[in-house]
A and B are shown apart, each in its own frame.
Chain A
Amino acid sequence: MERETLKNIDENELVPRGAMYIEGIAMVFEGRNYLVIFSALIASMFTILFAWYWGVIAGILSLFVAKFFRSGKSISHIAEVELGEVSINGPNLFVDHIQMMNIGLQQNKQIIQKHGVGLLIKPKNKNAKVTISSPGQRQAIIHNLSTIMGVYRDSDEPALVPMAKIDLDSGNVAVFILPREKNPDQIIQVVKGAPLLESSVRLPSESKRKGGR
């Protein structure tokens, strides 16, 4: 149900969520249904087997268990986020030394110089490097950032679209965005709080331990 709704809404977003984020939300939603069933089962089981007040106590305890399972991870668990320097060299736009795109028009260059903010996401380990390189995960970060901070662009203006590019050597991800609210500290916090999508999590180090299986 929520999958359909989000897909329909996504078509009219300035910066779309992307299919992976939508699947992630839908999966969490389904998971929460099971937690509700679990809490109900525990509470009613204790009520029938023992006395009614045991049912109340077990119900409250099951809520804590559900809360533990409900909490997902965010970008701050796998990576450091810091501000990156936005520079324009000829027609090329860079965040630190990572090339983002080629900007042809002077007008767009001026907008970018005035409003552009660059961020650098540095993965903490090699698992994080593979996870953060997933395009769906990067799109989720950009979407979160643009919904919370706003985005300085109209529809049908692909030149000002926010983007995230990866530095193949270091595995760092550079994010470029034109926010409505240019508050660097808040922007960093928003990126750190972006959800880690379950379907993008990869654990190459675990695979090695099990002999590549």
Chain B
Amino acid sequence: MAKILAIVTTAHQGINNGGVPTFNVNNKEEFEEISLKLEKILNATAHLLDGETMIIVEHHNE
């Protein structure tokens, strides 16, 4: 089973914080940069949900 560790989003309205750290960013550059940093720090995988939301996921089988 996988677990969402963090959410990075430019869509400030769309995400209701459900216990997962959510990083609200303002533009595409920030979006990519924060996602990349989080991926490296958390040793997890970044998955693009839609154009505005990235979820950082820990896969347990890897």
Contacts and interface: CB of A to CB of B under 8 A. Distances in A.
Given A158-B62, A159-B39, A161-B62, A103 B48 contact: yes
A199 to B, nearest CB: 19
A9 B55 CA distance: 32
A104 B62 contact: no
18 contacts: A101-B45, A103-B46, A104-B35, A104-B45, A104-B46, A104-B54, A104-B55, A105-B39, A107-B32, A108-B46, A156-B43, A158-B43, A158-B44, A158-B45, A158-B58, A158-B59, A159-B45, A161-B62
Interface string A90-106: 11000000000111111
B15 interface: no
Interface string A137-165: 00000000000000000001111010000
Name which of B32, B39, B54, B59 has the most chain A CB atoms within 10 A of its CB: B39
Nearest to B46: A104
Chain B interface bracket (under 10, 10 to 19, 20 to 34, 35 or more): 10 to 19
Nearest to A163: B62
Nearest to B54: A104
B43 A104 contact: no
A102 B32 contact: no
A105 B43 contact: no
Interface of A: 90-91, 101-108, 156-159, 161
Interface string B27-62: 000001001100100011111100000110011001
Contact of B36 (A101, A102, A105, A156): A105
A26 to B, nearest CB: 22
Contacts of A105: 32, 35-36, 39, 46
The 9 A-B pairs with the shortest beta carbon distances in the complex, nearest first, are: A104-B46, A91-B48, A156-B43, A104-B48, A102-B47, A158-B62, A159-B45, A158-B45, A104-B47
A101 B44 CA distance: 14
A101 B48 CA distance: 11
Given A104-B35, A104-B55, A161-B62, 13 more contacts: A91-B48, A103-B46, A103-B47, A104-B47, A104-B54, A105-B32, A105-B35, A105-B36, A106-B32, A107-B32, A108-B46, A158-B45, A159-B45
Contacts of A103: 46-48
Given A107-B36, A158-B59, A102 B43 contact: no
